[in-house]
């Protein structure tokens, strides 16, 4: 089984541009989670999606950030009008079942966004 695949691994954007980060979950996984790691901080949960549905977006910034997980294709985390503070590592994870206690979640390699 291929693991959780994220791309691009590194992305540089100028302030005001849009950033799109993609995540292909492990084969057979229909639950996807996005996390952000700001410099010198731990990972922070952003959003939990199941195919075509947002289950929990309690960690998503209210503006400029959106996520989707269409029926076909990867999950996309989209950041509009990026600012320097968006520079971070963005991790995607997936699971076979709902991400409840005891269920194993598998992580990708991360995508590093740098806003210049």
Partner 1 sequence: AQSVSQHNHHVILSEAASLELGCNYSYGGTVNLFWYVQYPGQHLQLLLKYFSGDPLVKGIKGFEAEFIKSKFSFNLRKPSVQWSDTAEYFCAVNPTGNSNYQLIWGAGTKLIIKP
For the bound state, the minimum distance from the C-beta of residue 67 to partner 1, rounded and expressed in Å, comes to 14
Nearest CA among 30, 34, 41 for reference residue 20: 34
Q: Are 99 and 41 in contact (CB under 8 A)?
A: no
The dihedrals phi and psi of 83, each to the nearest 5 degrees, come to -125, 165
Q: Which residue from 30, 96, 106, 112 is in contact with partner 1, where contact means CB under 8 A?
A: 106
How many of the chain's residues bind partner 1 (CB under 8 A)?
28
Say how far apart CA 56 and CA 2 lie, in whole Å.
Answer: 26
What's the min distance (Å) between Cβ of 99 and partner 1?
Answer: 4
Phi (first) and psi of residue 6, to 5 degrees:
-120, 140
Rule CB under 8 A: say whether 25 interacts with partner 1. Answer: no
Nearest to 30 by CA among 74, 67, 65: 74
Is residue 54 a contact residue for partner 1 (CB under 8 A)? no
Q: x/- site string to partner 1, residues 64 to 103, per CB under 8 A?
A: ---------------------------x-x-x--xxxxxx
Q: What's the rounded Cα separation, in Å, for the pair 43 and 81?
A: 22
The reply on whether position 110 binds partner 1 by CB under 8 A is: yes
- Interacting residues with partner 1 (CB under 8 A): 3-4, 33, 37, 40-45, 48, 56, 91, 93, 95, 98-110
């Amino acid at each position: 089984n291929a693991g959780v695949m994220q791309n691009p691994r590194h992305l540089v954007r100028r302030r005001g541009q849009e950033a799109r980060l993609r995540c292909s979950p492990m084969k057979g996984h229909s639950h996807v989670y996005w996390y952000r790691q700001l410099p010198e901080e731990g990972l922070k949960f952003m959003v939990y999606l199941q195919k075509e549905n947002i289950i929990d977006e309690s960690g998503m910034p209210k503006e400029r950030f959106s996520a989707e997980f269409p029926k076909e294709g990867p999950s996309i985390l989209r950041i509009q009008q990026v600012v320097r503070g968006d520079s971070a590592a963005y991790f995607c994870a997936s699971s076979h079942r709902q991400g409840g206690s005891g269920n194993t979640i598998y992580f990708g390699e991360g995508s590093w966004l740098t806003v210049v």
